Amino acid sequence: MHCFRKVKDDLIFIGANDRRLALFEHVYPLPYGVSYNSYLLLDEKTAIFDCVDKSVSEVFFSNIEYLLKGKSPDYLIVQHMEPDHSATLDDFIRRYPDTKIVCNAKTLAMIKQYFGFDADSRSIVVKEGDALSTGRHNLSFYMAPMVHWPEVMVTYDATDKILFSADAFGIFGSMDGALFADEVDFEKDYMDEARRYYTNIVGKYGPQTLALLNKAASLDIRIICPLHGFVWRKDLDIFIDKYQKWGSYTPEAKGALILVGSVYGNTENAADILASRLSEAGVKVAVRDVSKTHFSFILSDAFKYSHIVFACSTYNNGIFTNMENLVHDFVAHNLQNRKVSYIQNGSWVPASAKLIAEQMQKLKNMETLGEVFTIKSSLKEEQLPELYALADAIAKDINNSL
């Protein structure tokens, strides 16, 4: 059965929510689901902005059928070929063989990689700045490579000043009846999942994200229609400011994120003492157990906080396994501009701090703060002054920069 909402009288949201999927990209947990957005523009010529994931294809096709009363859409604008938006493209073409696909040359090549239908004869190939009129609406296309795949483009509707932003400004989380960000308490209820989406999915490509923001800054944008999550029609700056921060790897919050990788709990004990001392000094602290909390949440926290403390056991002469994976994930996502400190533990040769620090050196502007604090198996009373000294160095650095 159809289920849609109006963005404007002539622009209809025809996507849907998937609350069943456990892992987005078969990697990222989706505790609150995800939406796959698609938009139908009802003009002299009708245009659809992107298809949807297979899981929600039934509602998507019902919406088109109902709203167009069985007529074929004139244009399907393909902004991104990732299958969460384009897996239904061949089904779409089987249903609507006369619809013209509007896409760039890279997208056309990818369509042919994914599907066997004749894409060449059906496509209108566009490039940076090209225009398409649907009647009242004047659309133009802008390339946004690597936000989040190489072929990504976004579309600007100069008539109603709408940016169709592809994966940019997307979030994890379903839209439970609400369509607009101003219909929910976005900052309280959705910003964490927005950050987790950006940092994990696009976070590696900060410079490309900033390049897109630069292009967008020259356009008069009143509404943003992303491919996941809410449409923005008010207070766009709230989200754009976050994107500026995330894209430039600038911490959002002064505070310490303490990451614990501990087999038997002794390293965690030191981390808790450090956390208490920091808290007493007025520092905002978050402690995460890297074995228990999925890395996607921790990467998101790492983009949020200014200071990171690695508290980690040594494991087979290496970094404790889950911490090792996390550290590689930080490197893979190009995390930058953080102050880092180390607590290490080992029962024979403690080595985790040095090994983590070697990885951090691969990243830009990661500054070590305080001395490495080393535990041999369990923390001793006489070591407390040294642990407090580390906490005080971190607290001083944070409080001085507040």
Ligand X SMILES: Cc1cc2nc3c(=O)[nH]c(=O)nc-3n(C[C@H](O)[C@H](O)[C@H](O)COP(=O)(O)O)c2cc1C
In the complex, the residues that contact Fe ion under the rule CB under 5 A are 82, 84, 148, 167
What would the two tokens of residue 325 be? 């994976």
* Amino acid symbol at 187: E
Name the residue nearer to ligand X (CB basis): 27 or 384: 384
What's the closest the beta carbon of residue 201 comes to Fe ion, in angstroms?
6
* Amino acid symbol at 50: D
Name the residue nearer to Fe ion (CB basis): 202 or 259: 202
Are the C-beta atoms of residues 125 and 100 closer than 8 Å to each other? no
User: Distance between CA 370 and CA 387 in Å, rounded?
Assistant: 10
Q: Which one of ligand X, Fe ion, none is in contact with 121 (Cβ closer than 5 to 8 A by kind)? A: none
What's the closest the beta carbon of residue 360 comes to ligand X, in angstroms?
20
Name the residue nearer to ligand X (CB basis): 230 or 342: 342
* Residues 6+ positions from 13 with CB-CB distance below 8 Å: 4, 5, 6, 7, 37, 38, 39, 179, 231
* Rg, C-alpha atoms of the chain: 24
Name the residue nearer to ligand X (CB basis): 251 or 346: 346
User: Distance between CA 377 and CA 386 in Å, rounded?
Assistant: 16
Q: Which one of ligand X, Fe ion, none is in contact with 226 (Cβ closer than 5 to 8 A by kind)? A: none
Q: Which one of ligand X, Fe ion, none is in contact with 82 (Cβ closer than 5 to 8 A by kind)? A: Fe ion
What's the closest the beta carbon of residue 110 comes to Fe ion, in angstroms?
12
Residue showing the smallest CB distance to Fe ion in the complex:
82
User: Distance between CA 77 and CA 27 in Å, rounded?
Assistant: 28
Are the C-beta atoms of residues 285 and 275 closer than 8 Å to each other? yes
What's the closest the beta carbon of residue 395 comes to ligand X, in angstroms?
23
| Residues at the interface with ligand X (CB under 6 A) | 262-267, 313-317, 345-350, 377
C-alpha of 206 from chain center: 11
Q: Which one of ligand X, Fe ion, none is in contact with 148 (Cβ closer than 5 to 8 A by kind)? A: Fe ion
Name the residue nearer to ligand X (CB basis): 316 or 400: 316
Are the C-beta atoms of residues 111 and 119 closer than 8 Å to each other? yes
What's the closest the beta carbon of residue 351 comes to ligand X, in angstroms?
6
What's the closest the beta carbon of residue 220 comes to ligand X, in angstroms?
56
Give how far Cα 327 sits from Cα of 88, 100, 295, 356, 360, Å.
36, 45, 10, 7, 8
Name the residue nearer to ligand X (CB basis): 244 or 269: 269
Q: Which one of Fe ion, ligand X, none is in contact with 402 (Cβ closer than 5 to 8 A by kind)? A: none
